[in-house]
Amino acid sequence: MSDSSECDPSGPETSQAKLRIPTAATPLVPRDRLLSTLDERVASAPVVVVTGPAGCGKTTLLAEWARRRDDRVAWLTLDEHDNTPARLRAAVRDALALTGTVPLAEPGFSSAVVAAFDRAAASVCLVLDNVHEIRDPDALASIDLLTRQPPDRLRLVLLGRFPPPLHLARLHLEGRLREVLPHEFAFTRAETEALFAVHGLTLPPDDVDLLLRRTEGWIGGLRFAVMRLATTPARPDDLLMFAGLDQVVSRYLGEEVLARHTQRVRDLLVVTSVCDTMSADLAGALTRHSSPGVVLDALERTNSFVSRLDEEPEWYRCHPVLRAHLTAELRRSRPADEPALHQTAAHWYHRNNDPAVALRHALRAGDDQLVAEIVEHSVLPEVLREGSGRLHEVVDAVPGHVLAQPQVGIVAALVALDAGDVAAADRVLTGMGGQPRGLRQERVRVLHATALLRRGRFDARVGEAAQVMARTAAERAGTDAEVAALLNRGVAALLSGDHPAAEQDLLRASEIGRQERFDHAVLESQVHLAALTSASGDILTAARQAGEALEFAEEKGWQSLHVCALAYAVLGVQAYLRLDDERAADLAGRAVHALGDRRDPATGLAVSTLDAAVSFATAGDPRAVVGRVREQWRDVAGRRVTPPVITHIAPAVQRIALRSGDEQWASAMPEQVEAMFGPCGEQAVLRAVVHTHHARVSQARKVVEPLLSGELPALAAPTVVDGWLLEAVLVDRAGDQRRAHDAVTRALAAAEPVGALRPFFNAGKPVRDLLARGAGRFGRLEPFATTTMTSLPAASTASTDVLTSRERDLLLELPSMRTAEEIADSLFVSVNTVKTHLRGIYRKLGVNQRRDAVLAARRLGLI
């Protein structure tokens, strides 16, 4: 495009207002982080592109940056009139204060600018504000030439709502362009609080969070909120702008955002505002637009308050403030269309297997039949795939008359139970009378029995429901119903102590779940299989299974789900038994966090027991720790609970009860364990500990004897270790060292396969002395015996403090049984020196021979 003014060397006159750096009309909020970002990017590249939507504060920020700069900053505010090439070039010439003759036609204009700055004594930064206003190809060509061949002493900052259509990709590739992107302008929490402060407003933290969430840090929205909050007593949640009803905000969005688009584009935005997010296909279904993807892409590229989802780039979303305005416009201008649009969206999401969103739209459409269809056919598979997180709230909103349909109500109850909402589930199940009589469809009967089983977990009573489930043929009720039934029947069998049945059902549920990609069901099956393995006594395999389940959960982002609490507890038990207190404490904390406030006696008791065991030693109020776990034990008395944590560390919990002075609970624990698991070795050990505590030695040995003989089975391997260590200490006190050594050896044999060091630690100094005394006589268990003994704390004495460094070096050599001459060679000293140090060691340890010195040193923890 040519213009006659290009022949005039003076060109059109540029308004001085366009050449002035703008001043802020409102108090500024310090944005040092962005100012520093601008400094760094201008210094590192000749061209910087700054983009952001209307009202994001980009011009205000650049103006403040320009006033702070020590070097010269030339400013030019562009408008639609600058689409005349000669006018644009004259404005650039005037902004740069170029003297002499500068032709206003290309290529002479760009060459003259380059030549002028090649001779310049100081650098200049030229800011072109509102560069998005330039659309004329010839005008853009002049800017493009300056960006591609900028002189060394000229920096260009292009400021606009979206990048201008220049050849910027090459500059990117060559490293000669930097950007400040829209998301960088979002206000942080500190900046938001500073904004309120400069306007004399003080808001509670929750209100600040709400405003940040609703505005997503958009400074325009925050300033509109400040305007209203400064003049009205409204709370942030009640501001009309968030309902699309604030006239000032609506005018701003209409003038600055929507007016730039055609009526057809505006209609598309209004219609799709019924959805939180939209894809091209969904937008097409709602609007019948021929190319909605092109429109959405253009809106995103031009920063028109439409953005792509990071995790799903084919999906878009409107800024919440704009969407509120669009929804209000839909209700004002086309009120009869809204239910039909929601119905269309519901059908689209239902077809595309997203029942949570489909159900939300169906409810807004008021279509009861569609609501019932979605719940009946799509909700349970979604729970098995992803859990109830997205479904619980929306299913809870289903009207009562729809829930009265058994095929709908039972699924709703299962959703509520998965979410831990027992009250909501009970309302539905109670309305059905609690029995499957009258439920004619086989699928409904299976799901009803499954719901009863799932409900039974919340009070650890599953017997009657398990019998109902056993009589139900789940495989003919549909794959989703079959997996739900198998999973819940397997957990019920685990709680009831029927381990073979539990394993069969849980493995089958996991197998089908993997085939159908029911990932949430697979995770729950894996966790309970780990608990089952632990309940069978194999803590090592259980810990491996629990670890694999948690790895799977982390891949899905589910590591904080309630079901993971049991997996953390199983891993925590293993770490606790191995004396890895730091890891045990970390896992116990994760288990507590995942459990939350869920009403789940079985898992809750396991988690609280582990947490009490690992936190007692460092707790500020140990009695309070014991009191909390005692109350939970009392609550589940007489009920079936998952055994892995309880049985593995019940003796440890009993010890902390005794240490805190709660002898009454310590004495009651054997009966509580029997009530939970029936007669077992754990009960015998707990009872023997009580007898030992009261010096009833013969009664203690008599109680523990059936465990040691194998007559009374233990649920956990460490229980056997506890039993043999108790026997060892008691017979050693009676002076029978041979039997004491034999008992310690049997304890080591039971502990070694699972690496259980905790029972030896709990047994204290008497067992450490027995290990030291038996050193060298444990056969194949010798390495584990040494590891165990060195893991236990040793009492220090004054005599050990006076050993010289040479004596300590020699002491480490004594267990090898090498000769004095061989030791002398390895230490590079004479034989006489070795013998002198030996005499010193014997004297300080109070012994007369080498073997006794080794025993004493091991007893004291020196070797």
How far from 755 is each of 290, 750, 784, CA to CA, in Å? 68, 9, 9
Pairwise CA distance, residues 717 & 317, whole Å? 56
Sorting pLDDT into bands at 50, 70 and 90, what band is 676? confident
From the centroid of its chain, how far is CA 682? 36
Phi, psi of 50 (to 5 degrees): -115, 120
Sorting pLDDT into bands at 50, 70 and 90, what band is 4? very low
Q: Confirm if 755 and 738 have CB atoms less than 8 A apart.
A: no
Give the DSSP H/E element, type plus range, for residue 73.
Answer: strand 72-77
Q: What are the strands, taking DSSP E only, across 193-262?
A: none
27 DSSP assignment: P
Closest CA to 689 of 706, 674, 669, 711: 669
Residues 6+ apart with CB under 8 A from 303: 51, 52, 53, 161, 162, 182
Pairing of strands 72-77, 124-129: parallel
Closest CA to 703 of 718, 717, 677, 682: 682
What is the sign of the dihedral through the CA atoms of 549, 545, 499 and 637? negative
pLDDT at 863: 66
Pairwise CA distance, residues 715 & 566, whole Å? 18
pLDDT at 844: 76
Phi, psi of 845 (to 5 degrees): -90, -5
pTM above 0.75, yes or no: yes
Give the model confidence (pLDDT) of 424-479 as tens digits.
999 988 876 545 445 557 888 889 889 988 988 887 555 555 455 544 556 666 89
pLDDT score of 40 more than 90: yes
How far from 50 is each of 20, 29, 68, 170, 317, CA to CA, in Å? 19, 19, 18, 17, 22
How far from 307 is each of 121, 304, 310, 319, CA to CA, in Å? 44, 8, 9, 8
Give the model confidence (pLDDT) of 590-619 as tens digits.
999 999 888 777 788 888 888 888 888 787
Give the model confidence (pLDDT) of 523-558 as tens digits.
999 999 999 998 887 888 999 999 999 999 999 999
Closest CA to 78 of 65, 62, 60, 91: 91
Count of other CB atoms within 10 angstroms of residue 230: 11
Phi, psi of 348 (to 5 degrees): -65, -50
pLDDT score of 219 more than 50: yes
pLDDT at 832: 83
Pairing of strands 315-318, 278-279: antiparallel
Structural Rg of the chain based on CA atoms: 38
Mean pLDDT of 29-43: 93
Residues 6+ apart with CB under 8 A from 364: 274, 338, 339, 342
Mean pLDDT of 253-272: 95
* Per-residue tokens: 517: 């990609």
Residue-wise burial string across 829-840, b where 16 or more C-beta atoms lie within 10 A, e elsewhere:
beeeebeebbeb
Beta bridge partners of 318: 306
Q: Confirm if 496 and 462 have CB atoms less than 8 A apart.
A: yes
- Of residues 525 and 680, the one with the higher pLDDT is 525
pLDDT score of 644 more than 80: no
Pairing of strands 177-180, 47-51: parallel
Mean pLDDT of 362-385: 96
* Per-residue tokens: 211: 């405003």
Pairwise CA distance, residues 122 & 490, whole Å? 80
Q: Confirm if 177 and 163 have CB atoms less than 8 A apart.
A: no
Pairwise CA distance, residues 663 & 647, whole Å? 20
Mean pLDDT of 325-353: 96
Pairwise CA distance, residues 390 & 371, whole Å? 16
Instruction: Tell me the residue type at 856.
Output: A
Mean pLDDT is lowest, of 225-239, 364-378, 707-721, 843-857, for: 843-857
Phi, psi of 126 (to 5 degrees): -105, 120
pLDDT at 1: 43
Q: What are the strands, taking DSSP E only, across 397-521?
A: none
Sorting pLDDT into bands at 50, 70 and 90, what band is 132? very high
Each as own residue / partner, the long-range contacts of residues 438-444 (CB below 8 Å, 24 or more positions apart, any chain) are 439/406, 441/406, 441/407, 442/473, 442/476, 442/477, 443/407, 443/477, 443/478, 443/481, 444/406, 444/407, 444/410
Give the model confidence (pLDDT) of 162-209 as tens digits.
988 888 888 888 889 999 999 999 999 999 999 999 988 989 999 999
How far from 107 is each of 116, 124, 438, 513, CA to CA, in Å? 14, 22, 89, 69
pLDDT score of 65 more than 50: yes
Q: Confirm if 474 and 442 have CB atoms less than 8 A apart.
A: no
Can you give 495-540 as a three-state secondary structure string?
HHCCHHHHHHHHHHHHHHHHHHCCHHHHHHHHHHHHHHHHHCCCHH
Pairwise CA distance, residues 359 & 372, whole Å? 9
Sorting pLDDT into bands at 50, 70 and 90, what band is 239? very high
Q: Confirm if 78 and 65 have CB atoms less than 8 A apart.
A: no
Beta bridge partners of 279: 315
Pairwise CA distance, residues 392 & 196, whole Å? 37
Pairwise CA distance, residues 592 & 121, whole Å? 67
Burial of 471 by CB count in 10 Å (0-12 exposed, 13-18 middle, 19+ buried)?
exposed
Per DSSP, the three-state class of 7 is helix
Closest CA to 267 of 288, 249, 251, 246: 288
Q: What is the DSSP string of 771-831?
A: HHHTTT-SGGGHHHHHHHHHHS-----HHHHT--HHHHHHHHHGGGT--HHHHHHHHTS-H
What is the sign of the dihedral through the CA atoms of 191, 193, 194 and 200? positive
Count of other CB atoms within 10 angstroms of residue 554: 11
- Of residues 802 and 412, the one with the higher pLDDT is 412
| 586: Cα within 13 Å, side-chain hemisphere | 6
Mean pLDDT is lowest, of 82-86, 381-385, 484-488, 638-642, for: 638-642
Pairwise CA distance, residues 785 & 771, whole Å? 7
pLDDT at 799: 44
